Amino acid sequence: MKEDRGFERRSFSIICSDCGKTSDVPFKPIEDKPVYCRECYQKHRPKRD
């Protein structure tokens, strides 16, 4: 059972910088940085070694 620690999960509506689709993200976007929907983020995600 997960304990409630008083944190409220917020989401912010965005328009994907790649495809233009509306989506929600769990962080407040910075205005001059691109933000992507889940699908486009997979294309831009840094590669892990």
12-15 and 22-25: which strand pairing?
Answer: antiparallel
For tokens 């940085």, the residue is 33
3-state secondary structure of 23: strand
Name the residue ranges covered by the structural domains of the chain: 12-44
User: Does 20 or 2 have the greater pLDDT score?
Assistant: 20
Question: What integer pLDDT is reported at residue 40 of this predicted model?
Answer: 95
Cα–Cα distance between 16 and 36 in angstroms, integer?
4
User: Does 43 or 9 have the greater pLDDT score?
Assistant: 43
